[in-house]
Structure 1
């Protein structure tokens, strides 16, 4: 659906651009009607037709945000890989109740919601605008299909009707057509057919054109027949059949624009007049009256009942009066296209194809924002032209599927088929800035021993120094924000003198120095196409002057790794593919970042999960699809749950889980017995929230400083799906927050 919406917006932009040009040209035609050659009129209309058919705009930025708004509510969250900072293996405790969200993280979050914005007002309005784009795209698509069907049905109807047509057997007519073809140096003969019941002569067929004449044509005098044949012949000579076909395509995609229909109608008139001019230039000025009488006489003999877009008729659905007026004014050579006219058309073409209007469907206009409007320039860092859109746009995104990572990154990258004794253990997408991402893959041995042959690979687009600087600062800033460290650190990056024989890359050294922290890294980098590849082959980390980790790989081994890089479908020795069984044992099946991840989660869970993008005014931190704690992977007794994490305050988090499985029968026992066991016996009470039966409980604990801290929990069941909300480190119950979860709906 996303591609279809993109296509709709592109055609809407070109249609709006075309509207301005059509109005301008029609105004000029109205003022200077008799001064402008009909051929010029037809050429100008045709240029506009071509411009609107090309759904690409060099933009003039005009916002239509009040009609079409952002496709997704993209939220920014902060994650950090502690292993990369201190040289330690990845720790899932990052996503446990120990997460502490500081005010600095909130301020640096790419999403920022105004303080007076509430979830119930802003998000509903925002989702409403999303529906407008969705519904508009569906209506437009339906219109395209209907117009295309009508056009094709008219063609099919004519083909069925013309099956009874017989090829003409008249030596005089055939000889006349042969002389026309020979005089005009055409290589193709155009067959002529007689069709009983036809009301008007016409020519049809782009690949194999044919002229169809009605039966009564033989009752006319020879001169009239020649005029008719010459007129249809000139349609073919002028390539009007192709223009007519393009007109049909234009109407199909821009059926919603009445000015496009007017443009096509005008083009038909100008096309017939231009064709008449071509005929008169062959017949000569002396025959103009006779040709005009042919048009008048034929118009009296037939009435066009079916105007088929695929054929060009002698009469057509055109204004006879305008054609006759043009013929009366005809003078030999008076309708020639001069050099000045040709240059003018070239100028118009340049203007047409270098001007456009942009529909900002994904960026709301900042002017006139009310308190309940979302500023999407802050809410989302993506727009319609970006490679990928995220629901949760954290600085570091973890992927266990290499094909999925390749797809999200947006460019096909290569990977090493030789990695010493290590295996790819972690695959990440690092956000360098709002418009650029980097792929980061960690290679460790099976014991996660980072001191032996471990290395990281980074892939990004652009300059190596700029890209490495972005990745290094992005990951280090997360550590600073999470631990409330000083932002006043020193970063340095430079090329060093290490070289690898036989390779044409660079060796780069980065250094980060803070009060009690120092880290030195060395990379080997090279370019392959548009992508830059960097392998970290050395790292030294000191905290308070003491070395906490040091590891390196020899340059000889780096050379072997670099030379082994292949496309993903060519790899033989290293398995980067997703392994379901391994992920089930690890417990986390997939982190949720976008709608494709949500669809995957829906298939695994067996229902569409709820994922509110903000709760209590706070954006979602992360969401994961996981194996339940009571699953037994070895015995293939596996159940799944999805849980979302939100910040509540500086010391608390919210966990929202949902599953078709009642984990450890916790809800069933609590409902029937009034309690459940979680190390200790925990009593529950039954309450009503939003007319729904909810089980509520609390667990007190002593953290050494404050024995009054507790977790507040809520459980409920709806349509066979079990939900729970846990609020950690809280001072009481918060039913109003749980109501937000109850009222939430799946993202479409």
Structure 2
């Protein structure tokens, strides 16, 4: 039963996590799409790639920076920025919750599996195409490979069914080209340099990571659309690396652009695609006009700075804390119609006669235990009422006080009696639960932290009469 509950809780965490990440990533994606062309022309070579990598680090990393502020000072620019971030963060969280009600988890999983199946199909289909490739041992190709001093073994194949040269394989990379390229020494040089740069920079591994993230965050349409621009920026970066390796002169750029145009021409003849739709056209224009400038570096730094808020969550700590007693949040999936488990007020709690629960074979639960629950982690308490000594007790109390961060907490309480789940509920504030226990029964209490930051508080579990 617990395993099912744990899976359910983790699934709920993933749902909100994925949606919130998707919404917060929109800011970073929009920033990248706005500045990418300018950065490709005026910034250092890897400027756009760093921003794309930052996006995927954010989407993959489960952690974020938690900034706690007691009061926003309107006279401070920094505090004003934090106030804006807090406001945006609150809106995005609310939006993620609303959308989660529409995009049912089951539907999202079905679509995610469909997307993953499609990606796997593309890989399998591509692998079948590669079977028609013929391995070659060309001295000129081998010389280019040696010049890169790679630790991995690179193989060269010929396949005239493909339109343009491609590289695939992570541990044993393969370069597949067309026979006409081997007949042109100048074209062969640029093709080999370009594909070997992909291998040296581990672009294939990055491509696999991108595909995986796209499957997980398929519900972010802007992310899916932006992938073609990411692919283009990787190619542009590789072009710049090749030119830099060969010597960045006007003559080298002209020769390289000629080779690219030749590849475009062959691709058009084979696929009957309009030249203006070919992404290589943008690459040729950038190679012609690329020049690193101070302004380009400044724009990159500014974009990098403005992208940092997606990694942070700002929490406002209220001075005068108001506790909400008796308010349950979201749902309670286990029937509690017999009223064995109640949420009580502080006044009711003070009227009870409390005792410590001492469990020799398991653990001792202190009267006031300050505990920290890590992100998406849980605490477990267990005891046997059959081992309680002294006069008979009616049940036990679970009291959670001074939970922090105050303004943004979510936790889940699950109670099991003799391995059967009798209670589960989600809360967003301090709570006191009163449980009427059965004599001789064994109990387990699980407290799940549903936040992507640590949850700290005073946890009390006592028997009562």
After TM superposition, the score normalised by the length of structure 1 is: 0.40
Residue 259 (structure 2) pairs with residue 294 (structure 1) = yes
Residue 184 (structure 2) pairs with residue 236 (structure 1) = no
Query: Contact between 2:43 and 2:292, CA under 8 Å: does it hold in 1?
Result: no
Residue 308 (structure 2) pairs with residue 351 (structure 1) = yes
Query: Contact between 2:40 and 2:48, CA under 8 Å: does it hold in 1?
Result: no
Residue 360 (structure 2) pairs with residue 416 (structure 1) = yes
* Cα distance between partner residues in 1 of 2:94 and 2:301: 38
Residue 158 (structure 2) pairs with residue 177 (structure 1) = no
SS in 2 for 1:247: helix
SS in 2 for 1:200: coil
Question: 1:655-666 maps to which residues of 2 (within 5 A)?
Answer: none
SS in 1 for 2:167: strand
Q: What's the offset of the Cα at 1:210?
A: 1.3
1:148 aligns to what?
A: 116
1:19 aligns to what?
A: 26
Residue 220 (structure 2) pairs with residue 192 (structure 1) = no
* Cα distance between partner residues in 2 of 1:591 and 1:293: 71
Q: What's the offset of the Cα at 1:196?
A: 3.9
Q: What's the offset of the Cα at 1:261?
A: 2.2
User: What CA deviation, in whole Å up to 9, does each residue of 1:44-81 have, x standing for no partner?
Assistant: 12212221233444464414687666xxxxxxxxxxxx
Q: What's the offset of the Cα at 1:192?
A: 1.1
Q: Which blocks of at least 5 consecutive residues in structure 2 are unaligned?
A: 1-7, 67-85, 316-323, 345-357, 374-378, 404-415, 426-433, 439-465
Q: What's the offset of the Cα at 1:350?
A: 7.9
User: What CA deviation, in whole Å up to 9, does each residue of 1:532-576 have, x standing for no partner?
Assistant: xxxxxxxxxxxxxxxxxxxxxxxxxxxxxxxxxxxxxxxxxxxxx
Question: 1:239-638 maps to which residues of 2 (within 5 A)?
Answer: 239-284=202-247, 285=249, 286-303=251-268, 319-330=279-290, 334-335=291-292, 344=301, 348=305, 351=308, 354-356=311-313, 380-381=327-328, 392=336, 394=342, 416-417=360-361, 439=381, 441=383, 450=391, 592-594=422-424
* Cα distance between partner residues in 2 of 1:380 and 1:459: 16
Which structure exhibits the higher relative contact order, with contacts defined as CA atoms closer than 8 Å and separated by 6 or more residues? 2
User: What CA deviation, in whole Å up to 9, does each residue of 1:567-597 have, x standing for no partner?
Assistant: xxxxxxxxxx98x8xxxxxxxx9673238xx
1:720 aligns to what?
A: none
* Cα distance between partner residues in 1 of 2:366 and 2:270: 63
Query: Contact between 1:202 and 1:232, CA under 8 Å: does it hold in 2?
Result: yes
User: What CA deviation, in whole Å up to 9, does each residue of 1:272-304 have, x standing for no partner?
Assistant: 111111111122213221111110011110259
* Cα distance between partner residues in 2 of 1:24 and 1:9: 24
Distance change >3 Å, CA 30–CA 56, structure 1 → 2: same
SS in 2 for 1:6: helix
* Cα distance between partner residues in 1 of 2:154 and 2:380: 60
SS in 2 for 1:394: strand
SS in 2 for 1:416: coil
1:210 aligns to what?
A: 174
SS in 2 for 1:189: coil
Distance change >3 Å, CA 304–CA 237, structure 1 → 2: farther
Distance change >3 Å, CA 278–CA 31, structure 1 → 2: closer
SS in 2 for 1:197: coil
Q: What's the offset of the Cα at 1:382?
A: 5.7
Query: Contact between 2:165 and 2:191, CA under 8 Å: does it hold in 1?
Result: yes
SS in 2 for 1:186: coil
SS in 2 for 1:302: helix
Q: What's the offset of the Cα at 1:260?
A: 0.8
User: What CA deviation, in whole Å up to 9, does each residue of 1:398-430 have, x standing for no partner?
Assistant: xxxxxxxxxxxxxxxx95349xxxxx9xx9999
Higher Cα Rg, which structure? 1
Query: Contact between 1:389 and 1:594, CA under 8 Å: does it hold in 2?
Result: yes
Query: Contact between 1:440 and 1:459, CA under 8 Å: does it hold in 2?
Result: no
RMSD: 5.3
For 1:8, which of 15, 29, 32 is the aligned residue? 15
* Cα distance between partner residues in 2 of 1:431 and 1:63: 36
* Cα distance between partner residues in 2 of 1:355 and 1:65: 13
SS in 2 for 1:268: helix
SS in 2 for 1:593: strand
The structure with the largest strand share of the pair is 1
User: What CA deviation, in whole Å up to 9, does each residue of 1:319-343 have, x standing for no partner?
Assistant: 222111122225xxx4499996699
* Cα distance between partner residues in 1 of 2:292 and 2:201: 15
* Cα distance between partner residues in 2 of 1:53 and 1:304: 41
User: What CA deviation, in whole Å up to 9, does each residue of 1:218-249 have, x standing for no partner?
Assistant: 3x311111111111011112222122122212
SS in 2 for 1:298: helix
Residue 90 (structure 2) pairs with residue 62 (structure 1) = yes
* Cα distance between partner residues in 1 of 2:282 and 2:342: 65
* Cα distance between partner residues in 2 of 1:236 and 1:352: 33
Query: Contact between 1:428 and 1:440, CA under 8 Å: does it hold in 2?
Result: no
* Cα distance between partner residues in 2 of 1:343 and 1:293: 30
* Cα distance between partner residues in 2 of 1:304 and 1:383: 60
* Cα distance between partner residues in 2 of 1:391 and 1:65: 29
Distance change >3 Å, CA 27–CA 326, structure 1 → 2: closer
* Cα distance between partner residues in 1 of 2:380 and 2:137: 72
SS in 1 for 2:175: strand
Q: What's the offset of the Cα at 1:20?
A: 1.2
Question: 1:87-106 maps to which residues of 2 (within 5 A)?
Answer: none
* Cα distance between partner residues in 2 of 1:206 and 1:460: 53
